[in-house]
Amino acid sequence: FRPVLSGLCPSTCPDQSKADLLPPRDQPSQTVLGPLPSGTSQVGSMLAEVGAGPADDAARGPRTRLLKRNLVLIPIVRALNMCIIGQGVLNLFWEHTIGLDVQQMFYLQVLNSIALSVMEVPSGYLSDTWGRRNTLCLAAACKTISFGVYGVASSWLHCCVAELFLAGGYACWSGTANSILYETQAELGQRDQALNRESYAIFVSQGTEALAAIAGGLVASYVSLQAAVLVTVLPYALCFVLCVLLMEPQEGPKQAQEDDTLGFMGRLRATFARREVTQCMYPSLWLGASTYLAVWVHQLLYERNGLPLPLFGVAWGALNMAVAVASLLSPFFHRQFGLYRTQFGLGLWGMGCWMVMGWWWSPWAVIAGCALNLQRGINGPMFTTHLNHLLTTEQRATIQSCYSLLFRLLFCLLAVGVGWIAKSASLGTACITAGAVTGSAVSLTALYLLRCSSTSPSESTDGGLLTDEQPAPEAASEEEMGAVPTPSP
């Protein structure tokens, strides 16, 4: 315990100089560490020592140990956020317990998306100003309340209330969880590992969602659909507790307010004026809409194809495991093909999967759904890390919330159309239409951006994503790192 005590109380250890609290010389990009943050106990710092590594890590101060604890806690928190036990049978809960039809289900999701659209940007600004940890705690609290309401719901209005709380939770979570992981690594001088850690975090969270879906199917089969939804309160309550234990990155929201001469809207406009920021969003918007539409179609397809109820959870788990496994392949695909080439291929792949889902009337059609989810697993980590690297701390969560806002608006338009086609024609026709529209949009936008990158390489960032083989330019100026320049006082 001597390194811990000396870090907490340097004056009690005369032989340890203040220089020992500075980062080692072989890591010039390491942020100078200060004293233990206010409110952190000695027990917390001792717990942070677990897994800290060699003795020289302990000499860097308790803040570094707490930040390293973040790298352990954040994947767990994100996994608990995805532990939606009732998700795999939620459509059946709406249909059989509440009594909703297909169009009402889509209207419920449109309501959720509209609420998210209203709260997305304010929640991102809240994260950039109030703090990452506080915003994550608020998100976990909202989701706990949401599934608590679902557990006692008996009408469409009750579902609306639950969806509004769920929208608040998603809005606060969106961008914040990714930002706190990236900023923790940046402060530790490990930004070159961002893509690998993001891939691992998605693998853990999607694997957890798969296991939760299997558990939800069993609870729905042997207890009730409503019980499967209600029990989802437990992982979110635990998620709230772990969010409280997170450490706020030092270069995060608090310090970002010091450089605010352009104002919030000024920085926002200046960021979106950068082509490399807006360009990379286009294909991902359509990719996200494609997979999110499928989330609300899969269970209806299972019912149409005669899949037994106990296997609903297993099928949903297989869908999420496909995302989990594909996320581990994301660094490989980026190194081999780059961002836009990968997205071009994923657009064609998704179109084919939607076609098969619409035409194939068999319980084995779940294979096509798993194949469709591969595009989410491959695209998610590389796009998220790519966007994080382009943004600065004071706007990272806000810009990601703006991206989520655009995605929700796009989903609203597509969901209304797909729901109408499913009701007036057939579910298979709706799947084929969704695949043709989203797949074409992804491939065409990715192809356009790829052609732009080949004609004007200086204006494109395709292939510029950081990996372990491409260390981050820690010593770069604010202009080189994409920060918005501000006039001197």
- List, in order, residues 6 or more apart from 429 with CB less than 8 Å away: 358, 421, 422
Euclidean distance between CA atoms 195 and 467, whole angstroms: 6
* Between 419 and 473, residue with greater pLDDT: 419
- Given CA atoms 171, 172, 173, 179 in this order, what sign does their dihedral have? positive
- Condensed to tens digits (0 to 9), the pLDDT of residues 251-273 reads 544 444 444 556 667 766 777 77
Long-range contact set of residues 168-171: C-beta below 8 Å, sequence gap at least 24: 168/115, 168/119, 168/123, 168/138, 168/139, 168/142, 169/139, 169/140, 169/141, 169/142, 169/143, 170/116, 170/139, 170/143, 171/115, 171/116, 171/119, 171/120, 171/122, 171/123, 171/139, 171/401, 171/404
pLDDT of 210 reads 81
Q: Of 112-121, 274-283, 309-318, which gets the smallest average pLDDT?
A: 309-318
Per-residue pLDDT band at 60 (split at 50, 70, 90): low
> How much is the pTM?
0.66
pLDDT of 111 reads 87
Euclidean distance between CA atoms 228 and 209, whole angstroms: 14
- List, in order, residues 6 or more apart from 113 with CB less than 8 Å away: 167, 408, 409, 411, 412, 415
Per-residue pLDDT band at 412 (split at 50, 70, 90): confident
pLDDT at 488 over 60: no
Residue 182: other Cβ atoms inside 10 A: 23
Residue 488 DSSP class: -
Among 311, 150, 139, which Cα is nearest to 229's?
A: 150
- Condensed to tens digits (0 to 9), the pLDDT of residues 332-354 reads 998 899 888 999 999 999 999 99
* 394 touches 267 (CB < 8 A): yes
Amino acid at site 5: L
Euclidean distance between CA atoms 438 and 355, whole angstroms: 12
